[in-house]
């Protein structure tokens, strides 16, 4: 059973408290309480977004302008569809001219303007299906993929970093010159190798923690702008990339 959020004495917001329930673990109870008190969750329901994650992409794009009308976009790990909704709106994708291609092994309801595949991106034939559906080079590749969590932070970090590496490799194959790439990573050290790869092939790179990303979460986003083409693996190029700093944003809403 849950309480109801409303106004208390003096007009203050009342925080929802979740009562203990037989069969509910402490972690699930904390998750439920966090959801009920999350302003982004409430906002997503009011504004018709499928998940609070939509606001992460909105905040990043409002600042970095990676989406524009007419662009072709790939969304990796798209379910339940929040990022797709944002992309469709900003590139003006329609059922007559579908500019957004999405994939996830989880079931996701169809969206107007989206070519959707329910399939594991790690399947051997998945990249080819996405390329065929695009009908040309992509302007933007988005990846919100994350491995199912195990509760062991380093394991979760490494598994999600691997998904980021696979997403990078795909982006280097499908992006047009000047294109952009955005991926989720978990902090823990291994993500630095992903960053070095991006530095060699893009004009600029950024570490981003948008306001919609929960402060206590280990997630952050790597943004690479201005695709220059797949760089050759030369040790001297790698050393140069490591010497170049990427922008670590101090976000001011």
Whether residues 75 and 133 fall in one domain: yes
95 marked ligand binding residue: no
Task: Please indicate, yes or no, if residue 2 is contained in any of the structural domains.
Answer: no
81 marked ligand binding residue: yes
Task: Please indicate, yes or no, if residue 65 is contained in any of the structural domains.
Answer: yes
Task: Please indicate, yes or no, if residue 70 is contained in any of the structural domains.
Answer: yes
How would you classify the pairing of strands 247-248 and 202-208?
parallel
Exactly one of 56, 98, 184, 225 is catalytic; name it: 184
Nearest to 57 by CA among 69, 67, 43: 67
Whether residues 129 and 224 fall in one domain: yes
Q: Which domain holds residue 39?
A: 20-49
Task: Please indicate, yes or no, if residue 136 is contained in any of the structural domains.
Answer: yes
pLDDT by residue for the chain (253 residues), tens digit each? 233 333 444 444 444 454 555 555 555 555 455 555 678 888 989 999 999 999 999 999 999 999 999 999 999 999 999 999 999 999 999 999 999 999 999 999 999 999 999 999 999 999 999 999 999 999 999 999 988 766 777 777 788 889 999 999 999 999 999 999 999 998 876 678 899 999 999 999 999 999 999 888 889 899 999 999 987 755 444 544 444 555 555 444 3
Whether residues 42 and 55 fall in one domain: no
**184 belongs to the catalytic site:** yes
CA 84 – CA 39 distance, rounded (Å): 21
104 marked ligand binding residue: yes
Q: Number of folded domains in the chain? A: 2
Whether residues 94 and 66 fall in one domain: yes
How would you class 197 by CB atoms within 10 Å of its CB: exposed for 0-12, middle for 13-18, buried for 19 or more? buried
Task: Please indicate, yes or no, if residue 93 is contained in any of the structural domains.
Answer: yes
User: How is residue 155 written in tokens?
Assistant: 């394991």
CATH number at residue 134: 3.40.50.150
CA 186 – CA 156 distance, rounded (Å): 8
Whether residues 118 and 31 fall in one domain: no
120 marked ligand binding residue: yes
189 marked ligand binding residue: no
In angstroms, the first-to-last Cα distance of the chain is: 35
Give 3-state DSSP helix, strand, coil % of the chain, rounded to 5.
40, 20, 40
Whether residues 29 and 126 fall in one domain: no
Residues 195, 157 contacting (CB under 8 angstroms): no
């Amino acid at each position: 059973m849950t309480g109801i959020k409303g106004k208390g004495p003096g007009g203050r917001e009342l925080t929802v408290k979740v009562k203990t329930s037989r069969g509910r673990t402490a972690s699930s109870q904390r998750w439920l309480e966090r959801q009920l008190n999350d302003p982004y969750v409430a906002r997503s329901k009011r504004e018709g977004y499928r998940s609070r994650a939509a606001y992460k992409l909105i905040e990043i794009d409002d600042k970095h302008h990676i989406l524009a009308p007419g662009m072709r976009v790939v969304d990796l790990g798209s379910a339940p569809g929040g990022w797709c909704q944002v992309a469709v709106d900003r590139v003006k994708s329609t059922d007559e001219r579908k500019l957004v291609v999405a994939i996830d092994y989880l079931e996701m309801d169809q969206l107007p303007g989206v070519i959707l595949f329910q399939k594991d991106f790690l399947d051997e034939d998945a990249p080819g299906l996405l390329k065929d559906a695009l009908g040309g080079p992509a302007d933007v590749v988005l990846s919100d993929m994350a491995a199912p969590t195990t509760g062991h932070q380093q394991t979760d970090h490494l598994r999600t970093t691997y998904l980021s590496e696979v997403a990078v490799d795909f982006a280097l194959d499908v992006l047009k010159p000047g294109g952009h790439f955005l991926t989720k990573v978990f902090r823990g050290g291994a993500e630095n190798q992903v960053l070095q790869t991006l530095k060699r092939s893009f004009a600029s790179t950024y570490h981003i923690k948008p306001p919609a990303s929960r402060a206590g979460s280990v997630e952050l986003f790597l943004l690479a702008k201005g695709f220059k083409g797949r760089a050759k693996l030369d040790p001297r190029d790698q050393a140069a990339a490591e010497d170049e700093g990427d922008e670590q944003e101090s976000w001011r809403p």
